[in-house]
Amino acid sequence: MAFQFHSDAQDIHFTQFYATPQTLNPALTGVSEGTYRATAIYRNQWSSVTIPYVTYGGSFDIRILQNKLKNDIFGVGIDLNADKSGNGKLFFMQGIATVAYNKALDKSGKHYIGIGLQGGYVQKGIKYNLLSFPTQFNGSDFDLTLPNNETFSSNKTSYVDVNAGLLWHSQFGERLNAFLGFSTYHINRPKETFLGSNNKISMRFVAHGGVKIKATEKIYITPNFIFQYQNKAKEILFGSGVEYHIDIKNTPMIFGLGAWYRLKDAGSISAMAEIKRIRLGVAYDINSSKLKPASNNRGGFEIALTYVGLLSGAKVLKPIQVVCPML
């Protein structure tokens, strides 16, 4: 009896998309309220159904040539991600570098249009010795010591990946910021296979946007949406965060809550606290897909840490309202 191995994978993406800007749109690189930004994120998913899917991510981006570009933003960055599904049958590692340029459209630096380019290396692997096949069924159970009679060409695959993004963001008066972005991933259609076939990754298209509204002197509202499309699969995410800004003994602090919904998949709640540019965020998914009878509505847990800083002797020429919610 022949066994056909088929895998439907998805790109790395997080519920706290605002904590990993380079995975959302390369053009966001360097767009922050400081000179540089460092992030780290951890996700644990489906622990109520099976051995958890675990994802790690980290990134760093920085604005360069700041004193020569006036209001323009030239950013470079690096993004590292790793993912292990279940008990390690399939793993993913990615390292990617980004360069982006956001051009000011006016002398006051309130309106921008930007472009970002990414290039990097991806490796995936699978542990066949942990998989069971029809020929290993002994009548009552699967015996992994029996031969599987399969001929896999390799247990690893790797490729170069190329992505790009466009971004528009503007400030209208003192109380409203708006942004709209579009990005494309796997532009070069890299080959990905464990079987020696000519399987090419379909391009993934992302549209995202939102506004940041200063409702009062201390309260900001940040509604956002994301639409993703890849090989007839769609994802629609929308929701909003609410931020409360206070100053205690000359120490700025921000606290926030948010609620998001991925259509036909999951709802999520999030919370954030920021002190001295160090931001800690958590999120939890509430599963609403067809898997909810098995998951008991439990999805994934995330925790993210972000630090936005200034280089010694440098200053931000114009304070930029972050174009994603800071939750």
Q: For position 50, what pLDDT does the model report?
A: 59
Pick from 180, 183, 176, 148: nearest CA to 162: 183
Average pLDDT over residues 186-209: 87
Q: For position 8, what pLDDT does the model report?
A: 44
Q: Is residue 203 part of a domain?
A: yes
Residue with tokens 């509204």: 213
Q: How many domains does the chain have?
A: 1
Q: Which residue has the higher pLDDT, 10 or 104?
A: 104
Kindly provide the residue ranges of all beta strands, DSSP E only, lying in 47-110, ordered along the sequence.
53-64, 73-85, 90-104
Q: Is residue 142 part of a domain?
A: yes
**CATH number of domain containing 200:** 2.40.160.40
- Which domain covers residue 279, as residue numbers? 26-309
Query: Contact 145/135 with Cβ under 8 angstroms?
Result: no
- Answer yes or no: is pLDDT of 49 > 70: no
Query: Contact 34/308 with Cβ under 8 angstroms?
Result: yes
Which residues, in sequence order, are CB contacts of 322 under 8 Å at separation 6+?
31, 32, 33, 212
Q: Is residue 279 part of a domain?
A: yes
Q: Which residue has the higher pLDDT, 270 or 149?
A: 270
Bridge partners (DSSP) listed for residue 113? 103, 168
Q: Is residue 315 part of a domain?
A: no
Q: Is residue 10 part of a domain?
A: no
Pick from 66, 77, 71: nearest CA to 21: 77
Could you report the per-residue pLDDT of 210-255, keeping only the tens digit for each?
999 999 999 999 999 999 999 888 999 999 999 999 988 888 899 9
Q: Is residue 2 part of a domain?
A: no
Q: Is residue 38 part of a domain?
A: yes
Q: Is residue 144 part of a domain?
A: yes
202 DSSP 8-state letter: P
Q: For position 81, what pLDDT does the model report?
A: 93
Could you report the per-residue pLDDT of 115-171, keeping only the tens digit for each?
999 999 999 888 777 777 777 778 778 777 777 767 666 778 889 999 999 999 999
Average pLDDT over residues 5-34: 79
- Answer yes or no: is pLDDT of 176 > 60: yes
Q: For position 138, what pLDDT does the model report?
A: 80
Position 290, amino acid:
K
Could you report the per-residue pLDDT of 275-301, keeping only the tens digit for each?
988 999 999 988 765 554 444 455 688
Residue count (the chain):
327
